[in-house]
Amino acid sequence: MSETIIGPADQFAVLPAEVELEGTPYWLTRSEDGVYRLLLAVCPHAGGEVRWTEGTFFCPLHFWTFDQADGRCTNVEDERLQCRDVRLREDGVLVATGESY
């Protein structure tokens, strides 16, 4: 698996932050325990644009909502946003490229 630097850490002072990787929209998030994730900004249900609205991720097509920490769907069991691993390094924020989970 390879990694790509998406920018310096100070570029992402306010989270969630919109990020484009390989031409695809994502949200960079951080959980309360400090774990960073890159969540796909496309709903797994019908491919709608996932937006940050009033403290939650929201798909306006069918009103699905997603947890900001890990992308779990909060109103449909066993659904989630695709996610990529992220880690911080002195030279920036690194994202695993290739397969997402």
> What predicted TM-score, i.e. pTM, was given to this entire model?
0.88
Residue 6 lies in a domain: no
Distance of CA 10 to the CA centre of its chain: 17
pLDDT at 64: 96
pLDDT at 34: 85
**Residues 15, 30: contact at Cβ < 8 Å?**
yes
Residue 38 lies in a domain: yes
Q: Quote the number of domains for the chain.
A: 1
CATH number assigned to the domain comprising residue 64? 2.102.10.10
**What is the mean pLDDT of each successive set of 10 residues along the chain, which is 101 residues long?**
87 93 93 91 96 94 94 95 91 77 58
pLDDT at 101: 58
Residue 42 lies in a domain: yes
Residue 80 lies in a domain: yes
Residue 98 lies in a domain: no
pLDDT at 90: 86
